[in-house]
Structure 1
Amino acid sequence: MIDVHRLRVLRAVAEHGSFNRAAGALMLTPSAVSQHIAALERAVGHPVAVRSTRGVTLTEPGRLLVEAAESISAELDQVRHAIDRLTAERPRLTVATFTSGGRHLLPAALARFVDAHPEVELTVLESEPEEAAAMVRAGAADLALAYHFDGPPPVRPGERPGLDWVPLMEDPLWLVLPPGHRLADRPSVGLAELGADRWVLGCLRTEAFLRRYAELAGFDLRVAASTTDYFFAQTLVAAGVGVSLVPHVSLTTTGELTAVRVEPPRPARHIGLVLPRRRRPHPPTQALAAALTAAAASTHTPTGGRP
């Protein structure tokens, strides 16, 4: 039988790259760590870690055991939080969310959820997608509202065992132009046509996309302002600081700005839910996930014309 504590020791060795550093993190002696690894190797019948002058390298069986250790640790964390809920006076539900998605989808979903489940104590935590996925994995959040651009989602099969990604909606990005901009009357604009403009950035991920595009299109991205808030970015655009690329759900209703469709290939955010894989259903999590799905389905995101 494989000892769970020895899996924890192997996971620490993999994380720190050496027996000595793993021993320090676990508050054990290096000899104790070595003994645990040796006992684990006897249990599985294969070497799990190879020492060298450059540190410790996991064998293929060792890597499989570390993946199993991560899954077991996540499940134990979820069980611990479930036990905490059982002993609490009220059932609890924690949702992690990124700012603009939460602002757009959560109010309607939470109103529906609270009306049906007034006994549940809700907690909302603001977090970027990668951190939110880690929170769900650790049991610190029951579900997370997250997004990704054209790359892989925050949860990829095999990378983060015990989590699922549930797509909710596409969130296309629009060009936001200041009053009197030369291209404001156009139905659509190619990003390369704005190569001479200065940009107001509302998100680090938007900046990464724009820099890749500018490099391919052969122009230098000129940044006038860099923020982490799309709504603040749009106030800067309205002041004439520059142009911006803004997701549909973050567009403001001010009449001073003009939102113009981006010509293909059109960038978009893909919004979805990060959910834990549970052996037993968790009704509050399922209910909020259903409410968020309904809120996303009622969102109109046009792909042509003006928003």
Structure 2
Amino acid sequence: MTDFNHVPSLVLFLIGFIFTIILLISMAISRSGFLTSDLGKWILALLVVIVIGSLGMALGIAGLMFYPDWFSLISLPNQIYMAFRFPIGVAVALTNFQIAMERYFLICHEKSVPRQIVFWIGVHAGLTIIILWVCAATAETTNYRRPGGDWQRYLTLVCILQYMALAFGGLTYLYAKTYFHVYKMLKDMQDLVHGNDSEQNALRMRVLTNCILMTLAFSTCYSMEAVITVYSIVSTGFTVPDWLDSLATTVMSCDTIITPLLVMHLHSNVFKSSFIIGSILSKGNKSRPSQINQSQGSQYATKTPKPNISNKSPRSSLH
């Protein structure tokens, strides 16, 4: 019997898959130098994860829709689906965190994240994914949100909680630090920069809006699924109601569309012609501190010049 509760999430995952593929093609043919920066590479990695996750989740949901008995009676489909869902969740959390950290370092320290930090975070993520695979493969289960066995579910819970803290807490902390740094910097330089205060207020609001958008997008799309997964692991007798299962999956599937849209919004210069971008950038000539300007410029250069006061508009300088 076909289960149509998952039709919305299946459609959204497929749309997100196609949309992100188109976005990746657009990035590949762009000659802006965006992909030569660390930030650009992490955004590319996030979009690749979304493509892989969208296709894999669509296949898993199709199995749930057309072969529900497999997932209620047979362990192998649940183990395979779980072995895909959990690592993809880790990859999404990791790439979002790395993007937030890269923005923080570019704006607050005028440099990319140190390689040692990136390396050890990557090692930790790799070990976590291996542990999740081992937990999924070594114990039979008929619940793709909870591995079976005596120790597998506790180890899985520890891994999931780590990345929930990294994603939800880490994103909030880094974007908050980024905003307050910009706010403090502009406030300290008001005596040095003689310009329109409304321009600086607009800049602060742009930074604040972007930080809120990135944090809310991830939290909204994944918080419900994260809570259900954790509760399923700690409560062995709990079975997710069908309506809640489909709702959580549908909300999660929205990220495959929201994240590419945010990438286009925050990095519109990559996806618009130079004529359009040039006309936008030429509109303002108010003063601004170049430390903010470097958050955009350092995407395309390996060396960052010393801070100075520029006469270009700040509106397009922050991602």
TM-score, normalising length from structure 2?
A: 0.22
Structure with more strand by fraction = 1
Structure with more helix by fraction = 2
TM-score, normalising length from structure 1?
A: 0.23
Larger Rg: 1
